[in-house]
Structure 1
Amino acid sequence: MTIFMKKNIIITVSIVISIILILLVWSKSNKHENNIINRKYLNSLNFQQLTSFNLKKGANKLDVFDNEIFLQNSEKKDISLIEGKSENLIFNYGALIKNNFPESYTIIVDSIFMFYPSKRAVFKSNLKNSNVLVEKKLELPFTRGVAVDNGFVIKECITADCINQQFTLYSKDFKVQKNFDVISHRNDGGLTQDGFFVKGKNELFFISYLLPDIFCFDSEGNFKYKFTTIDNRDDNLEVVKLRKAAYTFKKNPFYHQLTASIGGNILYVHSNISDQKKDSNSDIIDMYQISDGSYIGSFTLPPRNNIKVFDYKILGNNFLVLYADNELVKYKFNKPQNF
């Protein structure tokens, strides 16, 4: 083989490698472009700070039940009632639940319902004296639960590996009323759904952490419809280990939705997906019509010394924001018109 031929081969190989690299870069770029969210930001919204105070006990979750504000500290297993600028401890569930996972709970009048998936247990306790009124162990493993008007909605497992699940409506005496097999099944080892419930006066939503899916129920726990967020990506998260309703993934999961709240006819969803118009440090809220899940628009929460938002809730015309784990700020919120 001549030197000239060797040079030609080297040049040809270099060109082929360059083309492959260009195609790979283009493919990644094109994939990224397909994932860009086209948000419509509503500039007419404004926030006026009313109050702010530092939390002595710390908190990682904010809830509103019957127009009262509650804070949950999962590490201390405390639930406190906020009155003015005072934190009043009303319930400690350390005797019921041993791990530090922020277990979901629902408060109805003077009763609190705690859901403990790793023990398949549901507890009903009296808020005034912390006495356990009901302790029920469910037959099937479950991952999430919420109390509704006539009972409970439980997201329970329907396969041994707990990857495929369904929503089940239980009566107050824990009898199965209906099954809603509306979560897409998959057989590739990927998790179908994990997320959280958001309860309003007349509706209930289950919002996925890892997928763009949102499920809507009425106040009695009957399934109504499902819709997808404007971030319509489906990240296949392969489960490699499951132990007591806790998942271990092959790769670290990316949470698409972080928290949410209901205000009037709007579902406000805290998205973890940034876009070209806002930087990654912005706390972006996407708004959806409760009636049909249609997208309305987006806005960003007021920044606070680059501290990320842990949780938020809407109470009347006020927007309550929990910054990090130690500051609760109340804003007067100018809601979108006609909603």
Structure 2
Amino acid sequence: MMNGKHTLAVFSLLATAIFIILWLKNSTYLPNVKNNGFKRKWIENLVVLEKEKNISSAFARFPGTHSGYNFLATKDPFVLVKFSEDLNPKDTFTLNLPKINASYNPNILVVDSFNVLVALPNSALSFTISLDSEKIDSVRLQSDIFTRFSKMRNSSAIVRALTKDQTRQSFKKIDLKSGEVIKEASIVENDKSYMGFDSDGILQFDPIRNLFIYVQYYRNEVHCFDTSLNLIYKSNTIDTISTNSAVYTKLEKFDSQKVTSSAARLIVNRECIVDSKNGVYFILSNLRSDDATNSDFRENNTLDIYKIDDGMYLGSFTIPKRNSTYFLSATIDSSHLLVLNKGNLAKYRIDYSKLLQIMAK
């Protein structure tokens, strides 16, 4: 049995814990609990579910689409599966890469039917793998550690990498045959805080217009630039989060240093899907608009549509979440939106006639 002193100590600890919880609740900004100060233009019946299939929960992302086939990739080990238009698996490929550190978090991109490009951000390495002959060519990129990677149709790529002094990040155009840096540009203004991680984002390529779209995770900013790293425009997503500063802490262990976030960040934009053929991109938003109920937002993925040419907002639509979670990855195949959920693959038909009418206004 506890004596009086022990009982008092327990109650004191409980009171302190309750105080901390209430303080955190009142002092922390919780998105979507209150209104976020913007409304959406909802496009009714824009997408229709055509087909879905249960698949292995090991699949993590769409690494690419080519010649009517879509590829899905596992995270570890590196396995690619080619799917047909009716969502049936056709071929399986295991990428026999040299032994690498799992923390490299590889970006896997399907180049064409027989070659896969694997880029390792934390090692500045890229591998080109032939799926039919299993030949592997490797190139060390003449760049520091990069955080984003997107390939063009030729033998070049754009990376977002740390500068030599490691104070910020810049965009670099790199020759994938030699690994040489062809050109470098900042693109994102005032990107000097916390080594550029404050403005981390999603990098996508439009192969028809030869334009890159860079959508920031933590702010409502979009940068569009060409293959020569010339800024075409800077625009904003429709939400109101223009400032969302990070709080980072340096951790020192033995002879190494690591910079990590010491406070939770509010993610504004979760994903970006480019539809080159129809000149639009879709952004998976993490913010509820004032004209959506909390339950609707919790149960659905909300996608906002923007024009590639100028970043103009066109409208929004929703697709259901699976098990109350956001989808893992998505891609455009002709007039369809393919969505990967954990253990599920869904195919939605997009009514582009409605979009064309909106774009013509």
Give the unaligned 5+ runs of structure 2: 1-25
Question: How has the CA–CA distance of structure 1 residues 232 and 163 changed in structure 2, closer, same or farther, with 3 Å as cutoff?
Answer: farther
Matches within 5 A, 1:54-203: 54-56=54-56, 58-66=58-66, 67-83=68-84, 84-86=87-89, 88-92=91-95, 95=98, 97-99=100-102, 102-109=105-112, 110-150=114-154, 151-158=156-163, 160=165, 162-172=166-176, 173-186=178-191, 189=194, 191-202=197-208, 203=211
Distance 1:56 1:100 in 2: 23
Could you say if the C-alpha distance between residues 257 and 246 of structure 1 is closer, same or farther in structure 2, counting changes exceeding 3 Å? farther
Q: Higher mean Cα deviation, 204-213 or 292-301?
A: 204-213
Aligned-partner Cα distance in 1 for 2:284–2:93? 28
Residue 227 of structure 1: CA displacement? 2.0
Asked if residue 239 in structure 1 is aligned to residue 248 in structure 2, the reply is: yes
Structure 2 residue corresponding to 1:258, chosen from 270, 276, 286: 270
Q: Which moved more, 1:315-324 or 1:238-247?
A: 238-247
Aligned mates of 2:161, 2:129 — CA distance in 1: 22
Question: TM-score normalised to the size of structure 2?
Answer: 0.75
1:192 Cα deviation (Å)?
A: 3.5
Give RMSD over aligned pairs.
Answer: 3.2
1:270-320 deviations in whole A, cap 9, x for unaligned? 111122314331210000001100111111113445453222212111121
Question: Are residue 216 (structure 1) and residue 224 (structure 2) matched?
Answer: yes
For residues 272-283 of structure 1, the aligned pairs below 5 Å read 272-276=286-290, 277-279=292-294, 280-281=297-298, 282-283=300-301
Shift of the 141–272 alpha-carbon distance from structure 1 to 2, 3 Å rule, reads same
Q: Does structure 1 retain, via aligned residues, the 8 Å contact 2:191–2:199? A: no
The CA deviation at 1:246 is 7.7
CA contact (8 A) 1:317 1:332 kept: yes
Q: CA deviation at 1:179?
A: 1.5
Partners of 1:100 and 1:88 in 2: how far apart? 28
Partner Cα separation in structure 2 for residue 307 and residue 87 of structure 1: 28
1:297 to 315, 330, 339: 315
* 2:48 counterpart letter in structure 1: F
| Paired residue type of 1:105 | I
Q: Which amino acid aligns with 1:132?
A: I
Aligned residues: 311
Contact 2:95/2:129 (8 A) holds in 1: no
2:40 maps to: 39
How far off is 1:95 after superposition?
3.0
Q: How far apart in 1 are the matches of 2:111 and 2:93?
A: 14
CA offsets, 1:183-231, max 9 Å, x none? 2225554734222222333233222222222222346765433322112
Aligned position for 2:52: 52
Q: 1:62-101 CA deviation, whole Å, 9 max, x = no partner?
A: 2432242111211333222213411632242553543156
Alpha-carbon distance in 2 for matches of 1:209, 1:93: 33
CA contact 1:111–1:124 (8 Å) conserved in 2: yes
- Where in structure 1 are there 5+ consecutive unaligned residues? 1-24
Equivalent residue number for residue 330 of structure 1: 347
User: Is the CA contact (8 Å cut-off) linking 1:198 and 1:261 kept in structure 2?
Assistant: yes
Out of 247, 260, 279, the residue aligned to residue 248 of structure 1 is: 260
CA distance in 1, matches of 2:95, 2:251: 28
Secondary structure of the 1:337 match is helix
Asked if structure 2 preserves the Cα contact closer than 8 Å seen for 1:47 and 1:302, the reply is: no
Contact 2:35 2:289 in 1 (8 A): no
When structure 1 is superposed on structure 2, of 328-337 and 218-227 the one drifting more is 218-227
Percent of matched pairs sharing the same residue: 19
Q: Distance in 2 between matches of 1:218 and 1:135?
A: 24
